[in-house]
Amino acid sequence: MIPIISLFLGFLSSSIPSFFKYLETRQQLKYNVQLATLQLEATIRNIEAVEEIEKIKKNLDDTISARNADLDSGGGAFAEFLRASVRPIITYSLFGLFLAVKIISIFVLMNAGLTLENMELATKIILDEVTLSMIATIGGFWFGSRVVFGKK
């Protein structure tokens, strides 16, 4: 009986290092899989970042190209003045027309018997929310970029 137990213990003791070697190899393989997964994720993120940078560079190139095309109209000083004054002239014309309508509204209300008691109602009619929004939008359009980009 003792020889059989000795044989069994000898077999068992010789297989213990192999078992630990198996566990170590298994752990190393898990580590390698995790490392490869992390490297793959990092590579994907790097590719996405490079694509985003290329997209930003392309947008910047398009913006610079459009700005250079605007600056280099080649039509002389008078043509440049006309090109630059189109938006302000249209804005001033439309705002002047709008202001004329509001002033005429005040005169119509005054001729209809506007008194101090109903002045608050007339002010709400003339300076309604849409009017104030439009004035704020125009102010933001013309002067907002000066605040953002630091123009004087």
Instruction: For 78-116, write each residue's pLDDT tens digit.
Output: 777 877 788 788 888 888 888 888 888 878 877 887 776
| CA distance linking residue 51 with residue 90, whole number of Å | 41
pTM (predicted TM-score): 0.41
Is the pLDDT score of 42 beyond 80? yes
